[in-house]
Structure 1
Amino acid sequence: MERPELPLPQLHAFVVLAEELHFGHAAARLGIAQPPLSQQIRRLEDKVGHSLFSRGPGRVALTPVGRELLPAARRALGDLADGLAAARAVGGGSSGRLRIGFAASLALTVLPSLLRDFRQRFPGVRLDIREMTTAPQIAALHDRSIDIGLLREPSEAENPDLDFRTVLSEPYVAVLPSAHPLTGQRTVQLTDLSDSPFVLLPREVGPGLYDRILGLCAAAGFVPRVVQDAVEWQTVCALVETGLGVSLAPASIRRIRLKGVAFRRISPGAARTRVAVAWRGNDQNPLVTHLLGAVSQEAPRVP
């Protein structure tokens, strides 16, 4: 059996009249004249197939049918009001879900304070945080499985449909086994690492960072001999600790505490790695705009 459609304006008129039990008062509350109110009630009764009100001289009362309909009518109007409020909150950027990809090393720098500040400003937003290296983040932005990414050394020219904004830059450091002869120096010349084996992140997970490190070594006159790769900086440091090799890494990696690993500044000291935020340029999600604003406020506080 097909269920009858109950137009919301008629339900609204019904609920108001049920509360007022007076056509004049209900019409005034609705901001309409009495005849249109009577027409709305009549149309609703026609759809229900029964009278909703008993009418007499100077009195209006709900019939048993009207008393049965009233709770459902209130629920329908309440659900609509809740839905409209939720839709306005999402449209205004105070509610909804934001999917963020981030490079693991950023958990050591900008990410914790950025997310803390964002959550304080937008407590109604659900954050879906995903640890991803740079290349998977770019792919996830293209296939729309994340809304915004925080990554290192992005290849902007290869992704013209994405927008990028620099968040911070930080120097590179040499990652050395604690027994390495160079740990006795406060600053390491890159050329001094030319004979050492290297442990690096593989190019496929972070091509920009990988190429940047190889470019620094090339400028120092050598090609690093990569003997092992690892997709996480924690693993890179652990492999260095075993004596397997040395590495070059962003300075924030110093916050990984391993007894058998030493971090030293490198010379030339102008070499820096760039962290950027990336998003789809045509994205209309207001939550992306809010996070970009939070990034702009956070970046100046990050050394």
Structure 2
Amino acid sequence: MDDGRPELALNQLHAFAVLAEELHFGRAAERLGIAQPPLSQQIRRLEDRMGHPLFLREPGRVALTAAGEELLPAARRALEEVSAGLAAARRVAAGEAGRLLVGFAASLAPTVLPGLLRAFRDGHPGVELEIREMTTAPQVAALHAHTIDVGLMREPPEDPDLVVEPLPSEGFVAVLPSGHPLAARRVVPVSGLAAEPFVLLPRACGPTVHDRIVGVCREAGFEPRVAQRAVEWQTVAALVGAGFGVSLAPAGVRRFRLRGVAYRRISPDTARTSVGLVHRRGDRSPLVSRFAAEARALAGGDRP
């Protein structure tokens, strides 16, 4: 009758495997660090559980029975699998192994993302990183839904359930068709863009950064006339290069080397967009803690 206990206890299997190797109760007990009577009791309990003897016990001789010979390979495999499982669990608990799901804003791919991923991978070669490209609002939703572990985003929202690790902020640049008259200047006054059609992200993708760009325009005395929207900054720049308009974008987009696109500093240049690594408050994952520590280590870098 099944009493709810495992069919075979690991300590009994271990004792059985050692005795099967030594074929001597005294030597086996010494290897196990126990006295001989407790070893004999463990073997007897295992045999009672099996319902068959596993060893022949004769004066001056111990040998495996046919049942013992059959059990030995399975016992060794079970002990090896448990040992490997314990070692793997310890590596995960120490933040040395496992899987980390990272969301990131596409505009951070050429700036923040490479250095952070490189530093983390160098220090944690046993960790599998899964990278998912998404804008700010979807990252926040994914964190709440536990479909990503950390997010690299622009203008992280204030959320009592999330923790933000600040990263170096960025200024804004004007994104212009390379043949635009203002592209000949090193610094573009924002007011000079007042009559131009704009290409911007939909507000739903990143409300704060969208509103910050609109605010820069309003401070320059105009409301931007949006002619086209695109979900990613690289697409915004490509549409500018295709002649759909101009844009104001985080300075990191300068890394997108697109034909027909010019990036210029703006005046005034006081506005900045914040960047942060975000994770769930109270998340005890050692991988999240180590990834956040890498982000903090990189936060002292030069601002773009």
- For the aligned pair, the TM-score class normalised by the smaller chain equals over 0.9
CA contact (8 A) 1:4 1:47 kept: no
Aligned to 2:112: 110
Cα deviations across residues 169-204 of structure 1 (Å, max 9, x unaligned)? Answer: 111000011121111211111111111110001011
1:142 aligns with 2:144: yes
What are the Cα deviations for residues 226-256 of structure 1, in whole angstroms up to 9, with x where unaligned?
Answer: 1110001121111111221100011111111
- Evaluate the alpha carbon distance shift between residue 165 and residue 4 of structure 1 in structure 2; reply closer, same or farther with a 3 A threshold: closer
Instruction: Tell me the equivalent position of 1:167.
Output: 167
Unpaired runs of at least 5, structure 1: none
Please report the TM-score for the alignment, with normalisation by the length of structure 1. Answer: 0.96
User: Contact between 1:199 and 1:227, CA under 8 Å: does it hold in 2?
Assistant: yes
Deviations along 1:24-77, one digit per CA (max 9) or x if unpaired, are 111111121111111111111111111111111111111111111000011111
Equivalent residues in 2 for 1:237-276, closer than 5 Å: 237-276=237-276
Separation in 1, partners of 2:28, 2:178: 83
> What residue is the counterpart of 2:10 in the other structure?
8
Structure 1 CA distance for aligned equivalents of residues 179 and 37 of structure 2: 94
Q: After the TM superposition, which of the residue ranges 198-207 and 248-257 deviates more from structure 2?
A: 248-257
The letter of the residue matching 1:257 is R
Classify the secondary structure of the residue corresponding to 1:258.
coil
Identity of aligned residues (%): 64
Change (3 A) 1:251 1:11: same
Q: Which runs of 5+ in 2 are unaligned?
A: none
Distance 1:243 1:79 in 2: 62
Q: Secondary structure at the match of 1:237?
A: helix
Distance in 1 (alpha carbons) for counterparts of 2:169 and 2:217 = 19
Question: Which residue is equivalent to 1:235?
Answer: 235
SS at match of 1:14: helix
Q: Secondary structure at the match of 2:27?
A: helix
* SS of corresponding position for 1:6: coil
- Rounded to whole Å, the distance in 1 between the matches of 2:302 and 2:32 is 56
Aligned residue for 1:284? 284
Question: In structure 1, the residue corresponding to 2:132 is in which secondary structure?
Answer: strand
- SS in structure 2 opposite 1:274? strand
2:169 alignment partner AA:
S
1:122 is aligned to 124
8 Å Cα contact 1:150/1:278 also seen in 2: yes
Displacement, 1:301? Answer: 3.1
